[in-house]
Amino acid sequence: MRRSVERLLNANGFATEGHSSAEAFLSRANASRIGCVVLDIHLGGMSGVELWHRLKASGVNLSVIFITAVEDEALELEAVKSGCVAYLHKPFPAELLISAVNRALTASSGD
């Protein structure tokens, strides 16, 4: 799924950097060069929500888009209340993700 999302975003003019896990993201990503983050809720190891909370706790304020294949209303409500830009359920139309990324980048450029 990660590579499909990367290809979709690249094809629509967005620069992407994919990571195989939340831990890989934390060890390699340069937050100052990131406009937004597309996170799967359920990752191996640390979850996407845990990663987002860890970033926020360390002072990194990135716009986040969550994607998931699991129906979990409580988790969705937590993510939305915490300010995620979008919470997309797989499978989702490509246009929904593109629109969410555009909103996220607009929001992050206004900071």
pLDDT 10s digits, 33-58 = 899 999 999 888 898 989 999 999 99
pLDDT class for 32, splitting at 50, 70, 90? confident
In contact, 3 and 38? CB cutoff 8 Å: no
The CATH number assigned to the domain with range 2-109 reads 3.40.50.2300
CA 25 to chain CA mean position, Å: 11
Please state, in angstroms and rounded to a whole number, the distance separating the CA atoms of residues 108 and 64: 10
pLDDT class for 110, splitting at 50, 70, 90? low
